[in-house]
């Protein structure tokens, strides 16, 4: 069975949006659907497969989830790890010789916590992954096998 989408109830839609947009940018994730401060759908190629819903005053966020995303390369795993911990911004400068220069700089922390830096894991041969805890404490992984 292939999952179509998943939904997290989060303590702060703003904090979670900052984290997930930064962390999943190396995988191509963007906001696809936006329902203001109540709910957003993130995804790739126009398909929202990760939904974030604000818990509101009466609700509580989901905790204890482990969600793993597949990466196309080890470099994507490495980029996820850095982007998950820090909001990485880029400034693209167009040079006069029809070349562009991209400068990356850290704006601020995302509210995530390190839960395992990029590296080989002994789960199966070639398993390369990184782990972070999102602002609500869920274990988010990106893996390349």
Q: Does domain 6-144 have CATH number 3.40.640.10?
A: no
Measured in degrees and rounded to the nearest 5, phi and psi for residue 140 equal -110, 125
Which DSSP category does 11 fall into? Answer: S
Residue that is written with structure tokens 């989830």 in the block: 65
pLDDT, one tens digit per residue, over 51-74 is 999 998 878 998 999 999 999 999
b/e per residue 33-54 (b: at least 16 CB within 10 A): eeeeeebbbbbeeeebbbbbbb
3-state secondary structure of 77: helix
pLDDT, one tens digit per residue, over 79-137 is 999 999 886 544 444 445 555 544 444 445 778 899 999 999 999 999 999 999 999 99
Residue 140 burial by Cβ neighbours in a 10 Å radius (0-12, 13-18, 19+)? buried
Identify any residues that bridge with 132 across adjacent strands, giving them in sequence order.
Answer: 114, 140
pTM: 0.83
With residues binned 3-state (H G I as helix, E B as strand, rest as coil), the percentages for the chain, rounded to 5, are 20, 45, 35
CA distances from 126 to 27, 72, 74, 84, 122 (A): 19, 13, 10, 22, 8
């Amino acid at each position: 069975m292939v999952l179509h989408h998943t939904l997290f109830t989060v303590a702060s839609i703003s904090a979670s949006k900052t984290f997930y947009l930064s962390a999943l940018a190396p995988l191509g994730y963007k906001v696809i659907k936006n329902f203001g401060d109540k709910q957003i759908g993130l995804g790739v190629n126009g398909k929202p497969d990760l939904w974030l819903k604000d818990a509101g005053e009466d609700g509580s966020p989901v905790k204890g989830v482990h969600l793993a995303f597949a990466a196309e390369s080890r470099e994507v795993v490495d980029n996820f790890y850095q982007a998950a911990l820090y909001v990485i911004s880029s400034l693209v400068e167009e040079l006069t010789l029809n070349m562009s220069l991209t400068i990356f700089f850290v704006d601020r922390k995302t509210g995530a916590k390190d839960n395992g830096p990029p590296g080989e894991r002994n789960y199966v041969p070639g398993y390369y992954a990184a782990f972070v805890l999102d602002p609500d404490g869920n274990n988010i992984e990106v893996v390349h096998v």
